[in-house]
Amino acid sequence: MAKVNNNILVYPDPRLRKKAELVDEVNDDIRETLDQMLDIMYKAPGIGLAGPQVNVHKRVVVIDVSEEKDTPLYLINPQILSSSGSEVTEEGCLSVPGISEKVKRAAEVKVRTLNYYGKEIEFDADGLLAVCIQHELDHLDGHLFIDRLSSLKRGRAKKKLEKQTN
């Protein structure tokens, strides 16, 4: 019913800084939102998309890190229960266009989430999936990957972003 805005919000849009709210019921409305977010993510193209990026301030995320783009993952009210190790990965963000920087995050995460059908599930993730989950959960709390850079690198990134933004 409610159509998700096709435009992905871009830094420094203050709406990217709003904390997303818990989903209280996984119904057809939420599933429609997730379907639309997946479309937008594939078209972008990206490997993940969080609600706030499309002005949906609910704790919803879609991810597909598969090569064939045939393994969508839907996360509703996701939580990281525990994490271990650390890994540095070059990250980009659809909301921070033109910037890519190395970010240090946990290498493995244990996740508890509701799935597409509202069932609570738990799973472990590593590699790019673990990185993407952490990146998307940051969006739900209004955080961007550039917030995690050293102040020197963040300063440079912001300067580059300001030059791009007209």
Tell me how far, at minimum, the Cβ of 3 lies from ligand GNR, in Å. Answer: 20
Q: Rounded to an integer, what distance in angstroms lies between the CA atom of residue 166 and that of residue 163? A: 8
Return the residues of window 69-98 that contact ligand GNR according to CB under 6 A.
91-95
Taking the mean position of all CA atoms in its chain, how far away is CA 95? Answer: 10
68, 87, 136, 162: which is the annotated catalytic residue?
A: 136
Other Cβ atoms closer than 10 A to 55: 15
91 is in the binding site of which of Ni ion, ligand GNR, none (Cβ under 5 to 8 A by kind)? ligand GNR
Q: Rounded to an integer, what distance in angstroms lies between the CA atom of residue 32 and that of residue 18? A: 22
Return the residues of window 32-61 that contact ligand GNR according to CB under 6 A.
46-50, 53
Other Cβ atoms closer than 10 A to 16: 21
Tell me how far, at minimum, the Cβ of 104 lies from ligand GNR, in Å. Answer: 12
Instruction: Determine contact, residues 61/136, Cβ cutoff 8 Å.
Output: yes
Return the residues of window 85-144 that contact Ni ion according to CB under 5 A.
93
Question: For this structure, is 136 an active site residue?
Answer: yes
Tell me how far, at minimum, the Cβ of 90 lies from ligand GNR, in Å. Answer: 7
Residue type, position 36, single letter: Q
Six-digit token string for 12: 């420094």
Between 95 and 134, how does the x/- string for binding to ligand GNR read (CB under 6 A)?
A: x-----------------------------------xx--
Tell me how far, at minimum, the Cβ of 112 lies from Ni ion, in Å. Answer: 21
Q: Rounded to an integer, what distance in angstroms lies between the CA atom of residue 130 and that of residue 132? A: 5
